[in-house]
């Protein structure tokens, strides 16, 4: 399996406004696994608050499901997992 970014990447969403009208800056961290971004369909992994974005590879908490030739095949997809 090709790990694109083992370390956390970050995206910032400035001045995000909630349905209730609260405005705040949000910073999200994520990891990418599998195919290069924008070269394959993207699978987004959303998880419980106690999880992290390390979903594939040797220490991945979904390593039995995400990886080369597995249910979510990283040879076919880009996997985006938020922290």
Query: According to the model, what pLDDT value does residue 35 have?
Result: 94
pLDDT score of 19: 96
- CA-based angle 60:61:66, to the nearest 5? 65
Residues 34-61 as b or e (16 or more Cβ within 10 Å = b)? bbeeeebeebebeeeeeeebbbbeeebb
Structurally, the chain folds into a number of domains equal to 1
pLDDT tens for each residue of 2-34: 544 467 899 999 999 999 999 999 998 899 999
65: containing domain: 3-82
Q: Give residue 1's pLDDT.
A: 47
User: In the structure, what pLDDT confidence band is assigned to residue 57 with cuts at 50, 70 and 90?
Assistant: confident
Q: 58 falls in which pLDDT band (50, 70, 90)?
A: confident
The CA R_g of the chain, rounded to the nearest whole Å, is 14
Check residue 6 and give its pLDDT. 61
């Amino acid at each position: 399996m090709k790990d694109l970014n083992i370390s956390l990447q970050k995206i910032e969403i400035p001045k995000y406004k909630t349905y209730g009208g609260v405005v705040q800056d949000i910073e999200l961290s994520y990891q990418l696994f599998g195919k290069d971004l924008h070269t394959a369909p993207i699978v987004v992994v959303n998880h419980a608050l106690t999880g992290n974005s390390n979903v594939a590879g040797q220490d991945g908490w979904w390593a039995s499901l995400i990886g080369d030739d597995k249910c979510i095949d990283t040879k076919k997809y880009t996997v985006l997992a938020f922290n």
